[in-house]
């Protein structure tokens, strides 16, 4: 394959690869290659030494350049979790693949390869720069997910029809496109078209597009452009409508009443109920009742939604109040502890100075080791006393904080439960009245339909299904009952959803608050003890360094003083 | 003389010119201004204490002493009762002990208060004015302002000699004999008040309390009861009484300039209790001082305590200076707008004037400064810079110096501490809180920010490598660095990161030391500048000061002259109907130039007259045409109306009347214009001919015509 490639390559390019890496065998990306590459691109000199000594952390590499390596397939890259810039230019890659896990990728360079198709890029949503220069791409496709695309290079490919480039109109942030070297570039129209169609692109082939040029293009392709603009506008509007709708749903979901405002849900309910639909197709009188039913439903649910919104606000307020209290208490406690630590540091200083003095005397032979030992022990005792005081004070502050907040936490959980219960009560009432409306609807439906039961003349233009039903009393009754049943089940499901979600939310909030507090408390205690241990260790190290002889008794004494 | 009734009074106008007067005359001046401004003010004649009558102020407290207590604003209480409260900590102290302690403290405090009270009493006793045998008999004049005008709600007094307001119960005024203003004179017939003048009734309309010199009340206070004003006789009778004579005094006027020069000799000194107040007119002193308050410790004004000085119009924007003679501190306050954005500068009087090595604090207006410097604090051995809102989050830089030795007389940098604020975008263990450079020990200490819920922070210290040994390269030795990681679960930092931190901070230390040197030079040069500003003060003249702004004044006069010249020229150059023809023939600008030949003159004259005629004709035709058109329309409308008037709906009819009224108006207007045009076109043509005959440029032509005309006439005469 290699030989074949070499032969088919244009002479310029084979020369290039010969010069840079003449003896590299074509292959797949592997670990060793990655490590070598990262080391090569890493820091130099002293920093480089440290970098190499530590070993390469593949998951921390931000940038990888694998050029002129005769790579045949992309692989092994999933280790590079924090990769932002990947350069695979001047290789023999034929297929874009195995890039799904590099979601943080910002820049991808695949130029001078043998890629024939754009694919498997859907996961790279953060991609801003994509370079596919000098490949064998015929069609622009599978790029829809790259919403952040800023710079795109598709020059020197095999794109035959310049209209293909209209695909790029969907990238709202695209600013620079390079296109030169495609077969269709010979057509003078192609640039005219590009300049006019890609109205957001500022640079085409790295040259700024003037308004005049754009205007020329526009004049030439007026009809086509208008059609495209219209289509774009339509999709744009749909997109905005969808976004708005989704935002609304998420907004209402926070108060657990998503889809409940407006007649949306009841329509869904009828859509999911084929029996009901057959009956409803009777129209006329029935339709009026249906409208009334719908109206009643909307009114009931509007009340519920309003209440839920209020309840949501109240809950948020409650959470804020509680958080404020806890946060300020924590701040106070942290401040207090910091002050205690500061005091400790100021007290520690003279002790350390004293030790330094003694050690100085010892080194200048003013006192002997035997004389120094008791002095040091004495200082050590006072130092440990100080440490113990520090520990006590810090722990007391923390315990006080924990206990002080406990009461509020219980109160908070009670209040939250109360609020959620109230919401659920209101929702139960609302759903109850929905059920009532449903019952009324069902009765009326039956009444209306039974009036016309078997009346062939009146049912002249009814659909065959409806006609069949209307001819048979039992069938009609069954159908009405089945429809009502489906509806009831639907209502139950929605109510269950609301109840369970609200309860789950409350559970999570209360539990989460408690868990967080407990974790915080444990972290703090761990931190305090770690600090104290560290201080002790420091003393022990110093003591040992001074006396030079390891006195097991002394160490034991110092270590397990209390 | 004070305390007795004056023999004669000078008019307010004279008093203003003389800038000195007795209390009566001063009261007249002030009441005149107050009434002019719309207040209901009166001159009060009565008795007052000796200090007031004789304007003795050395027993009163100076009202001009600035209040130095800073106003502390308390945060507003939270709007709603907090629903969550912290459990209070158990109180384990003994109540009994606490009670005993407070008892003891109260006792001590009570004793102290007693001593203090006794002391105050003694001081008050000593400061009391000596007994006055004429007390209660000294005549004085002051001012009473009554309510219901200009937002005054309560009657009050004004002392004319100082201009301060006093409540009615002020002890200094003892007795009121009468009050008067330009409208009436009221004599007080009320019982002598027991406590203060506040007991008196100040409703001047109450005849049982105030006897009127002239019958009748001023208009605004009049309540006509039982009088029929519509009856002419009664109305006249009501007004039939004597009025106050009209003022014969020159109209009072004080110009801005005069107001500034209100102190006799541009300078006034008032002696208050232990205070000497000096006031100056603006620009009267070289250094621009306008007011000085000097506080002394003793009554004889020999030991100064504090001096306050206020300045105006200084080029260096110095506004206020406070000199403390006890602590030997000077505090200067500046207005905004200085080049270096200095706002406050306080320093010891003994500090070397041009060196950073003295005790001084400088506060800056940080916002317009590029380096956002807020404050500089200098002492002999430290130097502090405080910043605010900097992009790099630097908050302060504190430099500690070692004292100069004999070998090295200049002080040396010992430690530099830089403090940064928390950057919440990066984790606390990467965010540096303090950088401490121990320059002389050759070490660098880094303290990182505290993370959430942490009471200890990461630290890292380096012993700087000897760059001379490694040839400028920074090498990393693990034993020359140590650190503490606050989070027990966090991994140890990587050597590479530690190495980078070291490189960065070695570089930063270099930058910082350089910065400090620059800053010291800056401050020194700034101090020299300040010294110069103090030694040779310059006063500026405001742009809008019409009196003193010489340059602007000159500009104004020049502009006035220019304007006058322009109007003059405009007057000369009347509209020349020949100008466009001259311009067409000789190019524009040919106005008063040389004469033109006879042929040209004939041509021009011909053109001018023809054009005039044509123009007149066109105008006439135009008006005529319009007139015809509207007239025809009007007539057609009228015919239509006459034909249809009985079948028209009221709306259509009213619409017809509206349009026909409009049309008839237009027709009429056009008719008038037409007649006017016809009447005027003859005289206009004549006027043009006259003008052309006298036109200086057409002299040649005119002469020729004149000769020709005379010849013709002569010939005719001859012929006859």
- pLDDT over 90 at B207, yes or no: no
Is B129 an 8 Å CB contact of chain A? no
CA nearest to B449, candidates B421, B483, B417, B425: B421
CA–CA separation, B635 vs A470, rounded Å? 80
CA–CA separation, A139 vs A168, rounded Å? 12
Residues of chain A with CATH 3.80.10.10: 2-220
CA–CA separation, A327 vs B107, rounded Å? 42
Give the side-chain half-sphere CA count within 13 A for A346. Answer: 5
Min distance A517 CA to chain B CA atoms (Å): 11
Please give the full DSSP string across A521-544, using - where no structure is assigned.
Answer: HHHHHHHHHHHHHHHHHHHHHHHH
Q: Which residues of chain B lie closer than 8 angstroms to A330, CB-CB?
A: 453
Average pLDDT (B265-284) is 87
Min distance B148 CA to chain A CA atoms (Å): 51
CA–CA separation, A505 vs B240, rounded Å? 92
CA–CA separation, B599 vs B698, rounded Å? 10
Interface of B with A in 433-462 (CB under 8 A): 450, 453-456
Q: Which residues of chain A lie closer than 8 angstroms to B495, CB-CB?
A: 50, 53-54
Q: What angle do CA B567, B573, B579 make, to 5 degrees?
A: 145
**pLDDT at residue number B515:** 92
Are B227 and B234 in contact, with CB atoms under 8 Å apart? yes
Which of A408, A409, A533 has the highest number of chain B CBs within 10 A, making it the mutation to test binding with B?
A408
Contacts for A59 with CB less than 8 Å, ≥ 6 apart: A79, A80, A81, A82
**Residue A495 CA to its chain's centroid (Å):** 30
Is B79 an 8 Å CB contact of chain A? no
**pLDDT at residue number B285:** 84
**3-state DSSP assignment of residue B67:** coil
CATH number for the domain whose boundaries are A2-220: 3.80.10.10
Note whether A404 contacts B450, CB cutoff 8 Å.
Answer: no
Note whether A527 contacts B495, CB cutoff 8 Å.
Answer: no
B673-690 b/e with 16+ CB inside 10 Å = b?
bbeebeeebeeeeeeeee
**pLDDT at residue number A19:** 55
**pLDDT at residue number B227:** 63
**pLDDT at residue number A548:** 61
**pLDDT at residue number B313:** 87
Note whether A325 contacts B85, CB cutoff 8 Å.
Answer: yes
**pLDDT at residue number A562:** 41
Average pLDDT (B661-673) is 90
Is B92 an 8 Å CB contact of chain A? no
Min distance B81 CA to chain A CA atoms (Å): 11
Average pLDDT (B244-268) is 83
Which backbone phi and psi does B651 adopt, to 5 degrees? Answer: -65, -50
562 residues of chain A, pLDDT tens digit each: 344 444 444 445 555 555 556 567 788 888 888 888 888 888 877 788 888 888 788 888 888 888 888 888 888 888 888 889 999 988 889 998 888 888 889 999 999 999 999 988 888 889 999 999 999 998 888 888 888 999 999 988 998 888 888 888 888 899 999 988 888 888 888 888 888 888 888 998 888 988 888 888 888 888 888 888 898 899 989 999 999 989 888 888 888 888 888 788 888 888 888 888 888 887 778 888 888 888 998 998 889 989 998 999 999 998 998 888 889 889 999 999 999 999 999 998 998 888 888 888 888 878 777 788 888 888 888 999 999 999 999 999 998 888 888 888 888 899 899 999 999 999 999 999 999 999 998 888 888 888 887 777 777 677 788 888 888 888 888 888 888 888 899 999 989 998 999 999 999 998 998 999 999 999 999 999 999 999 998 888 888 877 765 455 555 555 544 4
Are A380 and A539 in contact, with CB atoms under 8 Å apart? yes
> Burial, A562: exposed, middle or buried (Cβ in 10 Å; 0-12, 13-18, 19+)?
exposed
Is B474 an 8 Å CB contact of chain A? yes
The ipTM value here is 0.77
Note whether A341 contacts B84, CB cutoff 8 Å.
Answer: no
Note whether B87 contacts A403, CB cutoff 8 Å.
Answer: yes
HEC sequence for A243-273: HHHHHHHHHHHHCCCCCCCCCHHHHHHHHCC
Note whether A47 contacts B496, CB cutoff 8 Å.
Answer: yes
**pLDDT at residue number A340:** 92
Output the six-digit token pair for B548. 């003193």
Among B84, B88, B488, select the one facing A321 at the smallest CB separation: B84
Note whether A404 contacts B89, CB cutoff 8 Å.
Answer: yes
CA–CA separation, B145 vs B152, rounded Å? 8
**pLDDT at residue number A553:** 57
What rounded mean pLDDT belongs to chain B? 84
Min distance B486 CA to chain A CA atoms (Å): 7
pLDDT band at B644 (very low <50, low <70, confident <90, very high): confident
Question: Per mean pLDDT, which range of A520-534, B407-421, B540-554 is the poorest?
Answer: B540-554
Is B86 an 8 Å CB contact of chain A? yes
Note whether B496 contacts A322, CB cutoff 8 Å.
Answer: no
Q: Which residues of chain A lie closer than 8 angstroms to B494, CB-CB?
A: 54
Q: Which residues of chain A lie closer than 8 angstroms to B88, CB-CB?
A: 404
Among A45, A318, A330, select the one facing B473 at the smallest CB separation: A45
The per-residue pLDDT for range B490-539, each reduced to its tens digit, is 888 888 888 888 889 989 999 999 999 999 888 888 889 888 888 888 88
Q: Which residues of chain B lie closer than 8 angstroms to A416, CB-CB?
A: none
The per-residue pLDDT for range A492-535, each reduced to its tens digit, is 998 999 899 999 999 999 899 899 999 999 999 999 999 999 99
Min distance B379 CA to chain A CA atoms (Å): 24
Among B83, B87, B474, select the one facing A321 at the smallest CB separation: B83
Average pLDDT (B294-308) is 89
Min distance A250 CA to chain B CA atoms (Å): 28
What is the dihedral angle through the alpha carbons of B698, B699, B701, B704, rounded to the nearest 10 degrees?
170
**pLDDT at residue number B598:** 77
Give me the total of CB pairs closer than 8 Å, taking one residue from chain A and one from chain B: 78
Output the six-digit token pair for B464. 């700087």
Note whether A531 contacts B456, CB cutoff 8 Å.
Answer: yes
Average pLDDT (B197-208) is 83
Question: Per mean pLDDT, which range of A390-399, A463-472, B147-156, B692-701 is the poorest?
Answer: B692-701
Question: Per mean pLDDT, which range of A434-438, B22-26, B63-67, B231-235 is the poorest?
Answer: B231-235
Contacts for A206 with CB less than 8 Å, ≥ 6 apart: A176, A178
**Which residue has better confidence, A56 or B401?**
B401
Q: Which residues of chain A lie closer than 8 angstroms to B89, CB-CB?
A: 400, 404
Note whether A341 contacts B456, CB cutoff 8 Å.
Answer: yes
Note whether B455 contacts A405, CB cutoff 8 Å.
Answer: no
Residue B611 has a CB neighbour count (10 Å cut-off) of 13
Which of A327, A527, A528, A542 has the highest number of chain B CBs within 10 A, making it the mutation to test binding with B?
A527
**pLDDT at residue number B105:** 94
Residues of chain A whose beta carbon is less than 8 angstroms from a beta carbon of chain B are 43, 45-47, 50-51, 53-54, 318, 321-322, 325, 329-330, 334, 337-338, 341, 394, 400, 403-408, 411-412, 415, 520, 523-524, 526-528, 530-531, 534
CA–CA separation, A329 vs A36, rounded Å? 52
Which of A49, A50, A324 has the highest number of chain B CBs within 10 A, making it the mutation to test binding with B?
A50
Output the six-digit token pair for B641. 């109306």
Average pLDDT (B41-51) is 89
**pLDDT at residue number A81:** 85
Among B84, B88, B484, select the one facing A534 at the smallest CB separation: B484
**Which residue has better confidence, A20 or B556?**
B556
Are A387 and A348 in contact, with CB atoms under 8 Å apart? no
Contacts for A73 with CB less than 8 Å, ≥ 6 apart: A28, A29, A93, A94, A95, A97, A98
Min distance B84 CA to chain A CA atoms (Å): 6
Is B500 an 8 Å CB contact of chain A? yes
CA–CA separation, A166 vs B380, rounded Å? 73
Q: Which residues of chain A lie closer than 8 angstroms to B82, CB-CB?
A: 321, 325
Which of B80, B84, B469 has the highest number of chain A CBs within 10 A, making it the mutation to test binding with A?
B84
Note whether A50 contacts B85, CB cutoff 8 Å.
Answer: no
């Amino acid at each position: 394959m290699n030989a074949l490639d070499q032969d088919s390559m244009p002479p310029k390019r084979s020369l290039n690869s010969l010069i840079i890496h003449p003896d590299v065998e074509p292959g797949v990306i592997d670990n060793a290659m990655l490590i070598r590459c990262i080391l090569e691109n890493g820091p130099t000199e002293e920093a480089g030494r440290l970098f190499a000594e530590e070993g390469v952390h593949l998951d921390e590499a931000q940038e990888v350049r694998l050029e002129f390596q005769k790579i045949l397939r992309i692989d092994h890259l999933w280790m590079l979790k924090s990769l932002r810039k990947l350069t695979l230019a001047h290789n023999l890659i034929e297929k874009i693949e195995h890039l799904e896990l590099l979601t943080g990728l910002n820049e991808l360079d695949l130029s001078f390869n043998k890629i024939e198709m754009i694919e498997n890029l859907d996961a790279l949503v953060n991609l801003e720069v994509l370079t596919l220069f000098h490949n064998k791409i015929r069609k622009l496709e599978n790029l829809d997910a790259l919403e952040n695309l800023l710079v795109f290079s598709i020059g020197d490919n095999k794109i035959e029809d310049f209209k293909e480039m209209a695909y790029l109109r969907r990238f709202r942030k695209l600013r620079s496109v390079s296109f030169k070297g495609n077969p269709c570039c010979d057509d003078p129209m192609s640039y005219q078209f590009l300049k006019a169609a890609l109205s957001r692109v500022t640079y085409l082939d790295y040259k700024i597009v003037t308004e005049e040029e754009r205007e020329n293009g526009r004049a030439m392709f007026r009809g086509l452009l208008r059609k495209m603009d219209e289509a774009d506008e339509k999709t744009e509007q749909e997109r905005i409508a969808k976004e708005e709708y989704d935002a609304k749903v998420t907004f209402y979901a926070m108060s657990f009443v998503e889809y409940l405002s407006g007649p949306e849900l009841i329509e869904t309910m009828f859509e999911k109920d084929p029996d009901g639909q057959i009956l409803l197709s009777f129209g006329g009188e029935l339709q009026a009742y249906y409208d009334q039913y719908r109206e009643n439903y909307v009114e009931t649910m509007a009340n519920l939604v309003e209440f839920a919104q209020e309840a949501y606000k109240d809950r948020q307020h409650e959470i804020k109040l509680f958080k404020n209290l806890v946060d300020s208490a924590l701040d106070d406690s942290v401040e207090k502890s910091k002050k205690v630590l500061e005091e400790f540091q100021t007290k520690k200083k003279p002790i350390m100075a004293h030790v330094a003095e003694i050690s100085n005397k010892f080194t200048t032979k003013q006192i002997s080791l035997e004389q120094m030992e008791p002095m040091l022990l004495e200082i050590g005792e006072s130092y440990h006393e100080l440490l113990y005081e520090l520990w006590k004070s810090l722990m007391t502050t923390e315990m006080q904080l924990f206990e002080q907040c406990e009461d509020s936490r219980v109160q908070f959980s009670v209040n939250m439960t109360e609020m959620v219960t109230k919401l659920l009560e209101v929702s139960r009432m609302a759903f109850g009245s929905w059920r009532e409306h449903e019952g009324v609807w069902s009765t009326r439906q039956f009444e209306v339909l039974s009036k016309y039961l078997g009346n062939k003349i009146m049912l002249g233009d009814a659909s065959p299904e409806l006609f069949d039903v209307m001819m048979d009393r039992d069938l009609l009754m069954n159908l009405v009952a089945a429809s009502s049943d489906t509806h009831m089940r639907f209502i139950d499901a929605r109510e269950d959803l609301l109840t369970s979600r609200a309860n789950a939310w409350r559970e999570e909030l209360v539990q989460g608050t408690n868990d967080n507090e407990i974790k915080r408390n444990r972290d703090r205690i761990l931190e305090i003890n770690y600090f104290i241990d560290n201080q002790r260790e420091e003393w022990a190290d110093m003591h040992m360094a001074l006396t030079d002889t390891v006195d097991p008794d002394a160490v034991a004494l110092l270590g397990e003083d209390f | 003389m004070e305390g007795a009734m004056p023999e004669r009074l000078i008019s307010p106008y004279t008093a203003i010119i003389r800038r000195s007067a007795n209390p009566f005359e001063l009261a007249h001046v002030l009441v005149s201004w107050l009434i002019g401004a719309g207040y209901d003010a009166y001159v009060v004649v009565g008795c007052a204490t000796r200090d007031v009558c004789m304007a003795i102020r050395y027993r009163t407290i100076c009202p001009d002493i600035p209040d130095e207590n800073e106003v502390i604003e308390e945060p507003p209480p939270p709007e709603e009762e907090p629903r969550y409260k912290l459990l209070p900590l158990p109180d384990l102290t003994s109540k009994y002990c606490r009670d005993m302690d407070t008892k003891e403290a109260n006792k001590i405090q009570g004793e102290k208060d007693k001593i203090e009270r006794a002391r105050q009493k003694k001081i008050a006793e000593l400061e009391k004015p000596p007994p006055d045998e004429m007390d209660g008999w000294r005549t004085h004049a002051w001012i009473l302002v009554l309510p219901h005008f200009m937002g005054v709600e309560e009657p009050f007094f004004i002392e004319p000699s100082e201009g301060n307001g006093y409540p009615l119960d002020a002890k200094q005024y003892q007795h009121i004999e009468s009050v008067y203003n330009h409208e009436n004179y009221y004599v007080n017939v009320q019982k002598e008040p027991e406590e203060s003048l506040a007991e008196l009734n100040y409703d001047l309309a109450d005849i049982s309390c105030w006897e009127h010199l002239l019958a009748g009340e001023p208009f605004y206070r009049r309540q006509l009861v039982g009088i029929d004003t519509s009856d002419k006789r009664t109305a006249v009778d009501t007004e039939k009484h004597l009025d106050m004579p009209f003022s014969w005094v020159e109209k009072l006027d004080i110009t801005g300039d005069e107001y500034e020069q209100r102190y006799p000799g541009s300078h006034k000194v008032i002696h208050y209790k232990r205070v000497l107040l000096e006031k100056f007119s603006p620009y009267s002193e070289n250094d621009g001082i306008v007011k000085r308050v000097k506080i002394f410790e003793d009554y004889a004004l020999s030991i100064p305590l504090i001096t306050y000085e206020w300045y105006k119009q200084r080029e260096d924007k110095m506004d206020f200076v406070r000199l403390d003679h006890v602590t030997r501190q000077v505090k200067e306050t500046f207005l905004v707008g200085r080049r270096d954005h200095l706002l406050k500068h306080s320093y010891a009087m003994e500090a070397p004037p041009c060196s950073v090595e003295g005790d001084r604090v400088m506060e800056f207006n940080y916002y317009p400064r590029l380096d956002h410097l807020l404050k500089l604090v200098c002492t002999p051995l430290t130097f502090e810079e405080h910043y605010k809102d900097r992009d790099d989050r630097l908050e302060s830089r504190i430099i500690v110096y070692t004292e100069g030795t004999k070998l090295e007389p200049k002080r040396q940098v010992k430690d530099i501490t830089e403090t940064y604020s928390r950057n919440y975008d990066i984790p606390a263990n990467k965010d540096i809180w303090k950088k401490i450079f121990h320059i002389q020990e050759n070490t660098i200490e880094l303290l990182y920010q505290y993370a959430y819920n942490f009471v200890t922070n990461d630290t890292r210290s380096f012993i700087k490598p000897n760059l001379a040994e490694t040839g400028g390269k920074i090498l990393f030795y693990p034993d020359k660095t140590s650190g503490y990681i606050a989070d027990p679960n966090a991994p140890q930092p990587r050597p590479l990161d530690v190495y980078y931190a070291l490189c960065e901070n070695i570089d930063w230390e270099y930058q910082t030391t350089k910065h400090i040197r620059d800053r010291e030079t800056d401050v020194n040069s700034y101090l020299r500048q300040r010294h110069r500003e103090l030694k040779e003060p310059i006063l500026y003249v405001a742009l809008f000061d019409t009196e003193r702004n010489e340059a602007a004044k000159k500009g104004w006069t020049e502009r006035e002259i220019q304007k006058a010249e322009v109007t003059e020229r405009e007057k000369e150059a009347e509209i020349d109907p020949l100008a466009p023809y001259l311009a067409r023939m000789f190019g524009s600008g040919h106005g008063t130039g040389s004469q033109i030949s006879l042929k040209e003159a004939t041509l021009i004259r011909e053109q001018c007259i023809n054009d005039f005629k044509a123009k007149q004709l066109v105008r006439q035709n135009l008006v005529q045409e319009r007139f015809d058109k509207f007239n025809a329309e009007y007539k057609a409308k009228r015919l239509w109306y006459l034909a249809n008037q009985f079948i028209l709906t009221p709306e259509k009819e009213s619409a017809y009347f509206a349009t026909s009224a409009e049309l008839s108006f237009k027709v009429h207007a056009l008719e008038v214009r037409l007649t006017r045009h016809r009447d005027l076109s003859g005289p206009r043509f004549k006027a043009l001919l006259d003008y052309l005959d006298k036109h200086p440029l057409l002299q040649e032509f005119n002469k020729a015509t004149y000769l020709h005309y005379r010849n013709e006439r002569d010939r005719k005469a001859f012929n006859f």
